[in-house]
Amino acid sequence: MKPINIGGHSAYQKLVLTQLHKYYPNAATSLPDSTWQIIEKFWSLDLSAVDILMQDRYSVFGPEPRLPSDMLQALLVSVEFKITSYTRFAADLKENHLHAIISGFSVGDTPGIGTFYDFHRRLWLSDNKNLSEALHPPKEKPQKPNGKEEKAAPVEKVTVEDLFRQFEENPPSDMAPCLRLWEIFNTFFLQTSVDKNLISLKELALAGDGTPVYTSAQERKTRTCDCLEKGIRDCKCDRIYHQPDCDIGWDSHRNCFYCGYDLYMLTASDSVNDLPIFPFLSPASRHDSHGFLYNWFSMKQFLPEANVTKLILDSAHDAMPYYEYCKANGITPFIDLNWKCGRPPVYKDDITIDSDGIPLCPKGHKMKLAAVEPKKGRVKYRCPKITCKGGSPHCTCEEPCSDAKYGRNVHLVLEDNPRLINNPPRGSEKWKLEFNARTSAERCNKREKIDYKLEDGRYRSSMMWYCRLFAIMMCQHLDAWALPKSSRLKDLFEQAA
């Protein structure tokens, strides 16, 4: 039957307070402040509207189900207490009365393992637990790079420019099964952070970064041919993959191959708490320059009201189509240069461009930024050897390259090469200040993988990984919301004692 929450959030709060008095009569002194803070977070979190949002995922007939709001609250409690196994969490709810109370269950009446997996299937809008078919030929393994901490070359046969063109016409549909997860995350967490002025969707600055997610020690697959019996070990025949959305990728940080996903996360770089905006789990072999595009165009479908004004990305995204797309859509790109993509040895006459996109004079000195002229679409640099001692400007270079009073001036025209010539210019204090915010994406990924133990789940399906990932993102936003200095729940508990 359909879930019906008669008392709403007030019923949950009453249940928590009543059971705390019954099973923890000395909780005011026996429970530490850190535990009271966790209880306070969930006691203030109103998820009762989830019961209405999930109505269509339940049948009219059958036994009375667990309330979706309680099941979701239980998932968040498991994330908060770092319990990654639902088998262990179901047993924990029976043994640890406090966890059961916070989740909204009556002590002695907690859900079993099957109830948790059933709830995950209701959150996942697809009959298939994975995004791709289990039967497919072996995927190409990336080549090991030559240097340490270098990223592997892309294995994709399509270029970044082709992907831009393809996704502008037909955006990827990989995230379609996550629509209900997104609706819950967006309605109850992301929009609440917007209301609390932690994020501004009207002028959103995004930092993007990919990170490896280990799911197993090796690929789980079964042969469908008898080539091995014939002595052929590396045949290209189809295999049954038990984690079809995962493959082999290169971990540039640990300098080793791994099996799993590449989690590409878009983070609000201008938020103090490094809050996540949109995730995407790609195969491990997918390059970040492609992973961003899958994430970006999926986000544009799910969050069309977001007005992105800045994109802060690392050198893996340093490709001309990125700059052209940003220019066409009014976005200011802050992308680190990757000299493997090439650069002109000479810009104009005898002026070269260095690794920061700053022109060098014929003697090899970095020229000084003189002015940014956006109306003229250019950036002006001047001779670095000009001094004004004695009140008159003159060049202190032993072999001046210009007879001009103010020395050699160079105008870099933005249209000549938007990749090398930016506004604000690379190397300027404004550019460095904005680009430094890219580490927010790294800190966000660290919170998910280390603090919330994302990789410890070892799940077999993308359904389970996405459900866990979105639950972690919800907790990240929940942690960022300011709580009152004194616990209201604790005050009520002491008054009723």
Q: Can you give the pTM of this predicted structure?
A: 0.88
Which amino acid is located at 395 in the chain? C
Of the candidates 255, 267, 264, which has an alpha carbon nearest to the alpha carbon of residue 284? Answer: 264
Q: What pLDDT sits at residue 426?
A: 77
Taking the chain (497 residues) in runs of 10, the rounded mean pLDDT of each run is: 90 93 87 87 94 94 93 96 95 96 95 96 96 91 84 87 94 96 98 95 96 92 90 90 94 93 96 95 95 97 96 92 92 85 57 74 79 74 73 68 73 72 78 91 95 93 97 96 67 65
The predicted structure's pLDDT at residue 351:
72
Return the pLDDT at 320.
87
SS3 21: helix
Give the whole-angstrom CA distance, residue 305 versus residue 295: 16
pLDDT at 375: 67
Q: How many CB atoms lie within 10 A of CB 132?
A: 14
pLDDT at 376 (0 to 100):
65
Confidence at residue 454, expressed as pLDDT on a 0 to 100 scale: 96
Per-residue pLDDT, 485: 54
Predicted local confidence at residue 121, as pLDDT: 97
Beta-sheet pairing, 332-335 with 308-313: parallel
| β-strand pairing of 386-387 with 394-395 | antiparallel
- What whole-number distance in Å separates Cα of residue 52 and Cα of residue 143? 49
The runs of H, that is alpha helices, within 126-232 are 160-169, 179-185, 191-195
